Amino acid sequence: MKIDTSKLPTHIALVCRRFNICNPDDLAARFLEASYVAEATLKTIACVLHAGLEKPAREIAYRHAYEFVRADGLGLWESSIRDLTTPPTASYLPPEYSSLLNWIAKKRTKNEDELFCSTFDGLRSVLSLLGADDNDRPKTVSVRELMSVLVQIRNKTKAHGAVGEEFYAAANAPYFAAVIAILKTCPAFSWK
């Protein structure tokens, strides 16, 4: 499985290149490279949203920039995306951001949203492999929820403990599918 980097922003394409050249037989390394791609993607989305607030809401933009610079984990970036894409903060974003806001916040319940629903179910199975409780599954799926689960998986694998080869063998396919789905569908990555 390779990621098409031709339409991605340069910095994300470079991180994806690391994933693409990683030995496919080294399951742990491929998983960690996919984690780096997810991390770069989330941070880029947060920075794009922050940039939209620079003129209309300088104080809110400053607060988020202050948090970004001092962040010691990916969870803060994800919570900033959540804050930046919910009212009242989202109302300060310019009209050009409506496609990005819709992409992040839209409830995925229709047939055309099957990609996101199946991706979310795959990520929940990865969390189950890590021993996470599955009782708090939301009734509807959004990209915001996908990002939240990606951060949980990253924290449980990279930051808080080691997992074995059998985990990577079972988890890599759904994890890669989720990262690639976000990369392919994010409208901000096609902006100039």
Sequential pLDDT tens for the chain (192 residues): 889 999 999 999 999 999 999 999 999 999 999 999 999 999 999 999 999 998 889 899 999 999 999 988 899 999 999 999 999 999 999 999 999 999 999 988 877 788 888 898 899 899 888 887 766 556 678 999 999 999 989 888 875 567 888 999 999 999 999 999 999 999 999 887
- Name the amino acid, one letter, at 55: K
User: What is the structure's pLDDT at 116?
Assistant: 85
User: What is the structure's pLDDT at 17?
Assistant: 96
**CB neighbour class for 46 (10 Å; exposed up to 12, middle 13-18, buried from 19):** buried
User: Token pair 């031709």 is at which residue?
Assistant: 6
Q: How many CB atoms lie within 10 A of CB 104?
A: 25
User: What is the structure's pLDDT at 139?
Assistant: 63
User: Token pair 């989202």 is at which residue?
Assistant: 90
User: What is the structure's pLDDT at 31?
Assistant: 94
pTM: 0.91
User: What is the structure's pLDDT at 137?
Assistant: 59
Would you tell me the crossing angle of helices 58-70 and 74-84 to the nearest 10 degrees?
170
User: What is the structure's pLDDT at 135?
Assistant: 61
